[in-house]
Amino acid sequence: MSFKVGESVSLLKESGFYSIIRINAPYAIVQDEHGFEYQVTLTSLIKRIPVSGSVVNKELSETTNTAKKQHAASIPTLDLHATALGIDGMPTNELLEKKLSHCRMFLNQCIEKRHSKVLIIHGVGEGVLKTAVRQLLQGKPGISFHDGNYSARGVGSTLVEIRLSEVRKF
């Protein structure tokens, strides 16, 4: 099967949409819908044939993707690292209490502003801050939480979901 640069394709055993950027037989460089490039064999490509009668509103799909990116970026985030808070040089127990105080203030502000999700970055470390943050959240009406972003080092954040109809300030 012959392919052309710019053609819309799929990959065998992969999901997603790709378009051909370059062809250097027996390989092709393809770009996925997120902008990542891959080198694949031409034999693993499948042409995408538009279904007759269906119309894709490109402007609508671009608006939807932009809205999703803005929504993900609009989740309020609190970084509890001492350098981010500007509270370096304190004894450990005071530092922990200061971080929890910042966390309470942040959560109260988010409740006032009616945010339904917030991200609290506590770092991977030994888990002391993570445990303290989760104890603060545990059993609080209208609050549920789970691990946030996962990195190669582990989970360094907690995603808090707030049911605004049930929650009270901290």
At 95-153, the pLDDT tens digits run: 999 999 999 999 999 999 999 999 998 888 778 899 999 999 998 999 999 988 765 55
> Is residue 104 a contact partner of residue 97, using CB atoms and an 8 Å limit?
no
Q: What pTM does this model have?
A: 0.56
DSSP-assigned beta bridge partners for residue 114: none
95 Cβ neighbours under 8 A, 6+ residues apart: 82, 87
Spell out the domains of the chain, with CATH numbers in brackets.
Answer: 1-49 (2.30.30.140), 72-162 (3.30.1370.110)
Q: Which is more confident, 53 or 90?
A: 90
Spatial separation of the C-alpha atoms in residues 142 and 164, rounded to whole Å: 7
DSSP-assigned beta bridge partners for residue 119: 77, 159
Spatial separation of the C-alpha atoms in residues 7 and 15, rounded to whole Å: 17
